Structure 1
Amino acid sequence: MRVPQAKLVGGGSSINGGTALRNTKNDSREWIELGNDAWDFASVHEVYQTLESDHVRGTKGPHPIERAIPTELGGIQTAFLKGAAEIGFKEVIYFNETGTEGAGPSPVCRVGDQRVSAADTFIYPRRHWKTLSVMTGIIVDRITFSKNNRATGVILADGRKIDAAVEVIISAGAVLSPAILQRSGIGPEDLLRRHDISPVVHLPVGRNLSDHPCIPLVAKPRQGSDPKMPPQRTLSGAATGHVAGIGCNLNKPTFSGTTFIESRDPNMLPKVTLDYLGTAVDRASARECVRTGYGLIRSAAMQSVLEALFGIEDSIVGSEDELDKFCCANVTSTYHFSSSCRMASRGRGGVVDQSGRVYDTTGLRVCDASIIPTIPSSNNMWTTMMFAERIGRSVRDGQDVGHYSSKL
C-alpha cells in the first residue's frame, strides 16, 4: 500500500492533527504481558504529566495542549455532539482522565491557531547548543558495527559516514526504522540472505506492524450548515467541495502487518503489507463501529446539517455480508503505524528491551512508534512522545528505564 511519511524536522508532529491522547490502562496491561513491567500505567501517567503544559488541568510541562472551546465549533461539530448525546454517549471534556468514554473535543498540541510540534518544543529552542547538529535532506543507509556487535555509527546513502561517540539511536518511524535495521543485518535471517546481507542479529524486525484501520462515512453538508473547523492548520489533500462525516476507527485491531525491504538500495522504499479487516474479530468490530457511526449520522441533530450519506444505506447496514463488503471496500489507513520493532521479551517477538536497546547489540537503540509493544487505543503521537521522553531520561542518566530521575 502507499504509505506517506513525514520527511521534515519534527516528523509526524509537524504535519498531523496534533491529537494528544494518552494510552489507556488496558494498553499498559498488554505491554506488561509482553514483558514490559516498567511500562505500567502509573509510571507512564507520570511521564505524560511532566510533558504536558495544560493550564486547565494544572500541568506545567514543556509541551502546550489546548481543546476547542464551544465558540470555535462549527455547526456540524455542534450537531455531532448533540447527535452523540441522542444515541447515548455522555459528554466528555477531559479525555485523558482514566475511564473516560464519550464525545467531546480532543486535546491537541497548539497555542491558539498555531500548531506546536515536537521540533518547536524540543529542537528549535536548543539550536544554539554547540553539542547539537541538525542535518536535513539526508537518508541513512545502514548502521556500522565493530566486534561484538557494538554500533559505531551510520553510513548515509551518499556514502558519508558519521561516527557515534556513545550510542546510535534510530528514530525513522515504524515503517523506515525497520528498513535501516534490516539493511544493517538486523532482522529475519531469510529476508537478509535474500538480499545478500550478512546477518548480524536474527530478530523479527518489520513484523507485528499495526495501524488503526478507518472506514469513513461521508455526506454532503446542507446549505448553511457552517462547516468551519477549529484552528488546526492541517491539510489532508486537495478538495473541490465540502464533505463531512465520521471516521469509524478500529483502535484495537488484531491483524498483523509487515514492513520489509525489497532491495539493499536505501533510496528504495520498503514494501508495507497491512491485512486490514483480515480477522473475524476485526470484521465484527468494524461492523459494530460503522453501525454506531451510521446511527449517529442518522440522528436528528446530524440530519439537520447533512444530506444523504454516500454509498451506504439501511439495507447495507442491516446485512452482515453487505456491511462486510462495504467495510472491506472502503477501509483506509489513519497512518498510525506502530510496533514493527516491538518492545517485548525475546520470546514474545521482541526487537528491543524496555530501554529501547536492540537485543544482542551494544550501543544501539530504537526510539519511535515502532517500539510501542501494541498499538495504543488512541492516536499514536502522544504515546510516541511519552516513550521518547522516558527513554531519553534513561539515556541521559545512564540507567535502565524504571531507574532514573524524573527531573528534566
Structure 2
Amino acid sequence: MSEFNKEFDFIIIGGGSAGCLLANRLSADPANQVLLVEAGKPDTYPWIHIPVGYLYCIGNPRADWMYNTEPDKGLNGRILRYPRGKTLGGCSSINGMIYMRGQSRDYDNWAKLTGEDAWNWENALDSFKAHEDHYKLDDGADPATGSNSRFSDMHGHGGEWRIEKQRLHWDVLDKFADAAVEMGVERTDDFNSGDNSGVGYFDVNQRSGWRWNTSKAFLRPAKTRQNLTIWTEAQVEKLKIEPANEGSLRCVGALINYGGSSIFIRAKREVILSAGSINSPQILQISGIGPAPLLKAHGIEVHVDAPVGENLQDHLQIRAVFKVKGTRTLNTVAKSLFGKAMIGAEYLFKRSGPMSMAPSQLGAFTRSDPSRSHANLEYHVQPLSLEAFGEDLHDFPAMTVSVCNLNPTSRGTVQIRSNDYRDPPKISPNYLATEDDRKVAADSLRQVREIMAQPSMQIYEPEEYKPGIQYQSDDDLAKLAGDIANTIFHPVGTVKMGRSDDPTAVLDPHLRVKGVDGLRVVDASIMPEIVSGNTNSPTLMIAEKAAGWILSGQ
C-alpha cells in the first residue's frame, strides 16, 4: 500500500453531513492535506437522489448501516430498525430532507450548559446562514412583501446548502392546516426564525425536485482539489492514542481498513470524528475512551474513563392513522398501475408530484398542554398510511398524523458489544422511561384527535383507524404509544459537550475530547440536549462552527 500517503494534516472520519462540510472547509486552504474516510460507498445509487427513494435506501445495506435497537421496555419490548446513512452524504442521503433548525431557546441553553457564547442563538444563526442557499432570497426579495429584509435577517443565499419549497400540495393536508388553525395554532411561512410554533408546509433540502445531500453540496465543489483525498469503503478499526508531553495523551492517527488491508494513517494536526451519534461513541470506546467498566469487560486498555455513549436522546413519533372520505390520498392515487404510471410521468417531466415528496410534507409545532412555555410537539402529516415503514400502502383512503415529543426526558445508551470494530453496537434508546414522557405521549394523542374533530376536517368524515378510539386513559394511551411509536431517526447526545468541570461531558465547548490532544468530535453526538426539531441542519451548523475553530487552532 506504499502508493498511499500515510500522513495528513487532518483526518476526518465519516463522510456524512458534518464530514462533507468539514472536508470542504478544511481543504479550502491548499496548504492543508485532508483525508476524508467513509465506510460506505459513493452516493451513486440512483434512489439516493430521487426524493421518494428513501423508501429504497432505508433498510438497504447499499446505503444503510442496518442497525436495530435492543428490546425496549418503553416500547413494550419491541425492537426498532434504526437507520443510519452508510454512503457519502451519510444520513442526508437517506433522510426526510426537512430543513429545520429548532428553537432559539435550544441554542441559548447550549451556551448556558457549556459556558460558551458561540453556541447561543445569535451566533448559531450566523453559522446556519454561512452555508444556506434559501429559495426565498433567489430574486432578492420576498414575493409576498416585496422586501427581502425579513428573510435575509434569518436566512442566507448563495451557500452550498439548498433549501426549496416543496413541489406539491394535497387538499387533505391543506384542510388539516385549517383545522389546526381552528384549534388555535397560528399559520407560519417559516419554521426557522427561532420560534417554530405554527402550521405549514416544510421547506426541504432539494434542488429542482432532486434530493440535495451534503455530498453534492459540499464534496462535489471540492473533489478536484489536489489536497483532498476521499476514501470510500474504508472503515476505522480504532484511533491511535499515545503518551505525549508531561503525561498527557494525544491522538496521533487512525488504523483504517481500506482495500482489504489495515493501514495506519498519521494526523499531523487533528483527527476529527464525524461518524454520527452511533458510530462515533463506538469508535471512541474501541479506542480506549469510554466508561472504564465497559472497556475492561471487553479487554480494552482504558486511556480515558469518560461517559462516552451515555445521554442518548431521540425523537419518538407516534403514528395515528385516520380513514377519510371524499378526497385524494396517495393510497388511492398509487393503487392502480395507471396511477403509478402517471406519478412516474409527472416526476419525469416536471420533477413534481408524489415522487418528489419528502416523507412528511405538512408540519405543525404546538404545546401538549397550556402550561408548557414553548412548543414541545412536532407533527409530521402525510396523505398516506401503512401498517409499518416499508410495507404496502393501505387499500383505503387515509392519512397519517405523526406527533413527537420534542424535548424527551428519557435517556439511553450506545455501547460496544465486543472489541471488534465490525460488530454493531448495542443501541438502547430507553424510550418513554419517564413519567413526563409518558404524559406527553398521552396528551399528544388527545391533541391529534382534537385537531381531527375540527370543522375543516369533518368534511372528510375522519375515522380513527390507529390507535383506536377505545383507548382513552393516560395509561392506555401511553401503552399504545409504546405499541405503535417509532423512531424519527434523530439520535443525538452520546458524546456530549459541556463545561470543563462537567463530569457528564466528554468534550469541551470547542468539541475537543477532554484528556486527549489532537482529537475532536463534530457531529450530532455533541449535543448536550436535543434540538426542538429535525437534526440534520443543526449538525451542519455544528460543523460550520467547528471548522472555524479547527482552522484557527482553537
Change (3 A) 1:305 1:11: farther
Match of 1:342 in 2: 496
Range with greater deviation from structure 2 (221-230 or 138-147): 221-230
Say which of 472, 476, 481 aligns to 1:327: 481
2:120 counterpart of 1:44: no
2:551 counterpart of 1:396: yes
2:403 counterpart of 1:248: yes
Match of 1:65 in 2: 163
Distance in 1 of aligned mates of 2:474 and 2:327: 36
Residue 247 of structure 1, CA deviation: 1.0
Match of 1:290 in 2: 445
Counterpart AA for 1:45: L
Range with greater deviation from structure 2 (167-176 or 305-314): 305-314
How do residues 114-193 of structure 1 correspond to structure 2 at under 5 angstroms?
114-148=210-244, 149-157=249-257, 158-193=261-296
Match of 1:165, SS?
A: strand
Distance in 1 of aligned mates of 2:486 and 2:228: 39
Match of 2:466, SS?
A: coil
What TM-score, normalized to structure 2?
Answer: 0.68
Contact 1:219 1:306 in 2 (8 A): no
Range with greater deviation from structure 2 (122-131 or 21-30): 21-30
Contact 1:109 1:116 in 2 (8 A): yes
Counterpart AA for 2:165: R
| Cα root mean square deviation, aligned | 2.0
Contact 1:114 1:233 in 2 (8 A): no
Structure with greater proportional strand content: 2
2:163 counterpart of 1:9: no
Match of 2:17 in 1: none
Residue 146 of structure 1, CA deviation: 2.4
Residue 138 of structure 1, CA deviation: 2.0
2:356 counterpart of 1:231: yes
Counterpart AA for 1:195: H
Distance in 2 of aligned mates of 1:172 and 1:383: 15
Range with greater deviation from structure 2 (92-101 or 209-218): 92-101
Counterpart AA for 1:28: Y
Distance in 2 of aligned mates of 1:393 and 1:366: 14
Residue 121 of structure 1, CA deviation: 1.1
Q: Deviations over 1:259-309 (max 9, x none)?
A: 000101111000011111110111111122111112223333334447522
Contact 1:276 1:331 in 2 (8 A): no
Distance in 1 of aligned mates of 2:243 and 2:116: 31
Structure 2: gaps of 5 or more residues: 1-68, 70-80, 137-150, 331-352, 361-388
Range with greater deviation from structure 2 (245-254 or 74-83): 74-83
Match of 1:405 in 2: none
Match of 1:310, SS?
A: strand
What TM-score, normalized to structure 1?
Answer: 0.92
Change (3 A) 1:140 1:267: same
Counterpart AA for 2:219: I
Residue 358 of structure 1, CA deviation: 0.5
Match of 2:175, SS?
A: helix
Q: Deviations over 1:46-93 (max 9, x none)?
A: 111222111413421321111236xx2012221221221221111110
Match of 2:140 in 1: none
Match of 2:475, SS?
A: helix
Range with greater deviation from structure 2 (323-332 or 191-200): 323-332
Residue 37 of structure 1, CA deviation: 2.2
Contact 1:36 1:343 in 2 (8 A): no
Distance in 2 of aligned mates of 1:5 and 1:99: 28
Match of 1:179, SS?
A: helix
Change (3 A) 1:233 1:96: closer
Counterpart AA for 2:305: H
Distance in 1 of aligned mates of 2:305 and 2:462: 55
Distance in 2 of aligned mates of 1:212 and 1:245: 17
Distance in 2 of aligned mates of 1:365 and 1:249: 31
Distance in 1 of aligned mates of 2:204 and 2:535: 13
Distance in 1 of aligned mates of 2:326 and 2:266: 61
Match of 1:262 in 2: 417
Say which of 455, 463, 466 aligns to 1:308: 463
How many pairs are equivalent? 396
Distance in 2 of aligned mates of 1:161 and 1:138: 12
Distance in 2 of aligned mates of 1:98 and 1:156: 41
| Residue identity (%) | 29
Contact 1:185 1:197 in 2 (8 A): yes
Counterpart AA for 2:504: G
Distance in 1 of aligned mates of 2:262 and 2:358: 38
Change (3 A) 1:40 1:348: farther
